[in-house]
Amino acid sequence: MTFPIANPSLQRALIERGYTEPTSVQSAVLQPDADDRDLLVSAQTGSGKTVAYGLAFAATILGDAERLPPAGLPLVLVIAPTRELALQVHGELSWLYGPAGGRVISCVGGMDARQERQALNAGCHIVAGTPGRLQDHIKRGNLKLSECQVVVLDEADEMLDLGFKEELEFILQAAPSTRRTLLFSATIAHEIAALARQYQQDALRIDTVARNQPHADIEYRAIRVAGHEIERGLVNLLRFYESRGSLVFCSTRDSVRRLHGSLLERGFAAVALSGELSQNERNTALQSLRDGRARVCIATDVAARGLDLPDLDLVVHADLPTNKATLLHRSGRTGRAGRKGLCLLLVPNSKRRRAEVLLGSANINAAWADPPTAAEIRGRDQERMLADPLLTEAPLDEDLVLARELLSRQSPESIAAALIRLYREKLPDPEEVTIQAAPPETFAARTARAPREAAPFERRQDSAPMVWFRAGVGRKNNADPKWLIPLICRLGGITKQEIGVIRIFDRETKIEILADAASRFAASVAAAPNNDLILEPTDPPGGSKFHDPGPRPAKVKVRTPRPENAKPNEQARRKKNRAGRVG
């Protein structure tokens, strides 16, 4: 299937970029019933929608002509939610309309507004920008929309989520009422539909993907980690996959700074991307990823929309997304334009239920597994080294001369050993992590058995065998399940559902742990740094360590009595005083 366009300039541009057949969204906007109409399009991230709307408005501004008229006031205005997406749109439309003599400029926050004003005054055909900067140029008289024939709203749902509603309304009201309005969004929520009704006329609705269906080209895996081993788990995942490009998402700027610094110390070629960086710093970081100087990018959700990195094979959620939309847009940075991608979610045991709900809301069936071990990573390194093209490529003559000289001085074994050392020197060391699946399963095997575990978590039966542990705190330390349970889950790498009866005594507390989780619980507690709470196996009250207690009454909250020397609260003191005055 070829692109159904007759314009030779656009055909030439597509062929030069290697476009042989259109994606689903590109085919949809080029159908005859979409000609010269407003469009309301829901398209999957990474589906080629920038080229899609670039082709959709071609008939409006180019017609049958091979070249555009001389540059003057803009004919097309593209509004994008983030600087990165606006700059990406600028790049895509520049090559698409290059053969037609198109002049495309960008107007985004963080860049020199004076240079943008000069570019606007010099004339252009297409402007791509962010809402705030575009509004500012319109108010200052730098951007005049009297000749504008098409307005495109790219990632409209994100612009509304970011609070750009007033800016969008200002810009749309400044454009001629006779314009075409093309609205592209990942989802058509109520707010998007309302915006379309207000600013579009007889819009054609286009849905290019089935609703509530996840991206078919992305494989999802949920990686169980102990709460204190998230960073170690991330290191091992990055080392195991050794992707050409990896994007790691954190929830805050502080997390990005901390994780970026930690990965640099370990020897990873990593860059950071967050809202606190200047636009030039963000552009430099992205360029480092594109040209291969960096292989890992640690980012906040500023990178969740609009970034198109060709070699991005892996997305990791170091912090869980807050909602389904963020999950899908973060993950959508990989698996683009028909390429396969892998998305990993690091899930602390205390957040497993939240992760299951999140994945379920997005209709994603993720494979559950533990992170790869250090031994598995070293085995993978060995496989990669033996398959390295350097060992199979035909050597140069000068290399052969040096090779013979080395063999005359050293044995083949010593030369091979030196090669192995050189290969390992450039690799960051893997980390020791707590494995919750029963050994000796490999990482691949632990992932392969995931379909059973991908179902929502089921509570254990009350008759399940349990193991008793003791904690060195009791009533005299104000022990209470309200703070004991979260602490036990975090230190032991278990969920609340794997805890049974809790019995609090004067100087100690005894806790039941599901027998299947007891070994990893003990290992996780032993490996936890700065562990001030002693947790160790113990005998149950009047029984052996391993027992089947049979049916038990439901757990009840244990209330620790207030120490006798504790001061009464203010309300009780006033009540007592009033009673004394009445008497």
What DSSP letter does each residue of 264-307 carry, written as one string? Answer: HHHT--EEEE-TTS-HHHHHHHHHHHHTTS-SEEEE-GGGSSS-
The rounded distance, in Å, linking the Cα atoms of 370 and 362 is 22
Residue in this structure with the two tokens 């058995």, named with its chain if needed: 449
| Residue 569 pLDDT greater than 90, yes or no | no
**Phi first, then psi: what are they for 341, rounded to 5°?**
-140, 160
The rounded distance, in Å, linking the Cα atoms of 208 and 24 is 6
What integer best gives the mean pLDDT of the chain?
82
What average pLDDT does this structure show over 411-419?
88
Residue in this structure with the two tokens 């500023």, named with its chain if needed: 302
Least confident interval from 172-176, 330-334, 392-396, 553-557: 553-557
Q: Of the ranges 2-16, 440-454, 541-555, which is most confident?
A: 2-16
List, in sequence order, the alpha helices (H) in 309-454.
Answer: 324-331, 352-361, 374-386, 397-409, 412-425, 443-448, 450-453
Q: How many residues does the chain have?
A: 583
| Residue 531 pLDDT greater than 80, yes or no | no
The one-letter amino acid at 92: E
Three-state SS for 470?
strand
The rounded distance, in Å, linking the Cα atoms of 317 and 312 is 14
454, with CB counted inside 10 A (0-12, 13-18, 19+), is middle
Least confident interval from 107-121, 187-201, 411-425: 187-201
Residue 383 C-alpha from the chain's centroid: 29
Tokens of 516: 């299947």
> Over the stretch 341-375, which tens digit does the pLDDT of each residue have?
899 999 988 788 889 989 988 888 899 998 999 99
Q: Which residues of 245-262 are buried (b: 16+ CB within 10 A; e: fewer)?
A: bbbbbbbeeebbeebbee
> CATH 3.30.70.330: which residues of the chain?
459-583
Q: Which homologous superfamily is 459-583 in?
A: RRM (RNA recognition motif) domain (3.30.70.330)
Tokens of 355: 């992760």
Tokens of 564: 């006798």
Helix axes 412-425, 397-409, angle to 10 degrees: 120
The dihedral of CA 36, 39, 44, 49: what is its sign? Answer: positive
E strand or H helix at 446, and its extent? helix 443-448
Q: Is 12 within 8 Å of 99 (Cβ atoms)?
A: yes
Least confident interval from 271-285, 375-389, 548-562, 565-579: 548-562
Q: Is 460 within 8 Å of 497 (Cβ atoms)?
A: yes
Ordered strands of the 150-153 beta sheet: 104-107, 126-129, 76-79, 150-153, 180-185, 39-42, 204-207
Q: Which homologous superfamily is 218-373 in?
A: P-loop containing nucleotide triphosphate hydrolases (3.40.50.300)
> CATH 3.40.50.300: which residues of the chain?
8-207, 218-373
The model's pTM: 0.63
Residue 13, CB-side half-sphere exposure with 13 Å CA sphere? 24
What pLDDT is stored for residue 389 in this prediction?
83
The rounded distance, in Å, linking the Cα atoms of 574 and 572 is 6
**CATH number belonging to domain 8-207:** 3.40.50.300
Helix axes 374-386, 412-425, angle to 10 degrees: 120
Decide which of 575 and 457 is more confident. Answer: 575
What pLDDT is stored for residue 221 in this prediction?
94
Least confident interval from 123-132, 215-224, 558-567: 558-567
Question: What region does 130 belong to: left with phi over 0, alpha with psi -120 to 50, or beta?
Answer: beta
